[in-house]
Amino acid sequence: MLINENNCITEGSRSNIFFIKKNELFTSPDEEVLGGITRKYVIDLSKKQSVKIHFQSVSIQELKMFDAVFLTGTSPKVLPVNRIEKTHFDTDNELLLLIMKDYDQAIHDYLVKEDIELH
């Protein structure tokens, strides 16, 4: 995890980070992170599901407020985080599982579409 000068978690070394609290997403503001394609997909898919997204920094002290945490990236796709230091998170969180399912389905649909168009 990368922590900025304000003691806030901004992203992973090769990934973006999202926090879940009461079926709402929290992620760093765009100007504080390197935008990833997977991050964009997750944000777009979440908006389609009418999930409220907060673009705000999360401090280490605020970690205990969150129900679930996940990383996004090309290789890990949507990867649940079990714990950060001594704070444990729900890797079976309903919203997290929905995001994982929607992302996998979007990638599957894209690959099928591209395969059909290539032949």
What is the rounded radius of gyration, in angstroms, for the C-alpha atoms of the chain?
Answer: 15
pLDDT digits (tens, 9 = 90+) for 66-95: 999 999 988 889 999 999 989 999 999 999
> Which pLDDT belongs to residue 117?
53
Q: Is the pTM of this model over 0.85?
A: yes
| Residues 6 or more apart whose Cβ sits within 8 Å of residue 31 | none
| CATH architecture observed for domain 2-118 | Alpha-Beta Barrel (3.20)
pLDDT digits (tens, 9 = 90+) for 11-62: 777 889 999 999 999 999 988 888 788 999 999 999 999 999 999 999 999 9
**Whole-angstrom Cα distance, residue 41 to residue 64?**
27
Cβ atoms of 58 and 26 closer than 8 Å: yes
Cβ atoms of 81 and 69 closer than 8 Å: yes
Q: How long, in residues, is the chain? A: 119
Cβ atoms of 72 and 50 closer than 8 Å: no
